[in-house]
Amino acid sequence: MQLSDWGSDLADLVLGRACLMCSAPGRSLCGSCLETLRSGDHGGMGRLDDLDPRRALPLAYALPYRTIGSTLVLAYKEHGHHRLQVPLGVLLADALLHALEGQIADGTLTSGTLTGGTLVLAPVPSHPRPARGFDALAGIVRHAQRELARRHIPSVNAPVLQLSRRHGTLKRLDRRHRISTVHGTMRARESVRDRLPPGPVVVVDDVVTSGATAREAIRALQASGVRVTAVAAVAHQTAQAR
């Protein structure tokens, strides 16, 4: 454990924080509950099949959004539980590996993918001035990379996607209108694209709900000649939970 972790643990105790799942005093998500989430049957795989059903991309997620996913992600993004970026990063790393291992198992990727190359993480772009004053996804991705490194998997955070124009709120729009609203709002930075290392490219986000944002990220990358392997998110609003 790093000194900064001790400091934040102390801060959690001073602030009277408790685990959001089991109420144990201390961290917002205790180590025991994190392990329960990682070992349980909370995550899963979906497919983003809108672009071309024959080449549907796997979408891996660690938590269902409607239950525990929203509790943790909203506490992190909206209610100041910033240290949740550590366990949320671990969960994102789990989802990433789940997606890639699935593709290795079905022969889409070669078995050397995780050992012979560099995993390229392409975060969906956030607003230039995030509403809460911090880039929530960047913190999660940073800790996902630490977890990947701990498992001897090299990765890069490639900010290849940027917003080319803003769009209005997606709240209260149905899926079809979300997709049409988000379409054409992203583009790939050519300066970053041209320096991407060889390796699978995975679009990463904290939450995937309708899939409109992830779909636009894939479109922008593919329009720029970048082949996307999968999408990974901490939480997904699964069909079963609707």
Binding site for Zn ion (CB under 5 A): 19, 21-22, 24, 30, 33
Helix (H, G, I), strand (E, B) or coil at 163: strand
3-state DSSP assignment of residue 201: strand
Q: Under DSSP, is residue 1 helix (H, G, I), strand (E, B) or coil?
A: coil
How many residues are listed for the chain in this entry? 242
Cβ-based nearer residue to Zn ion, 30 or 86: 30
For Zn ion, which is the closer residue by CB, 58 or 64? 64
CB of 143 to Zn ion, least distance (A): 18
Provide the minimum distance between the beta carbon of 30 and Zn ion in the complex, in angstroms, as a whole number.
Answer: 3
Pick between residue 29 and residue 179 the one whose CB is nearest to Zn ion. Answer: 29
CA distance 44 to 49: 16
Least distance between Zn ion and beta carbon 36 (Å): 8
CB of 51 to Zn ion, least distance (A): 39
Distance CA 134, CA 54 (A): 38
By the 8 A CB rule, do 160 and 222 touch? no
Kindly tell me which of 29 and 220 has the beta carbon lying closer to Zn ion.
29
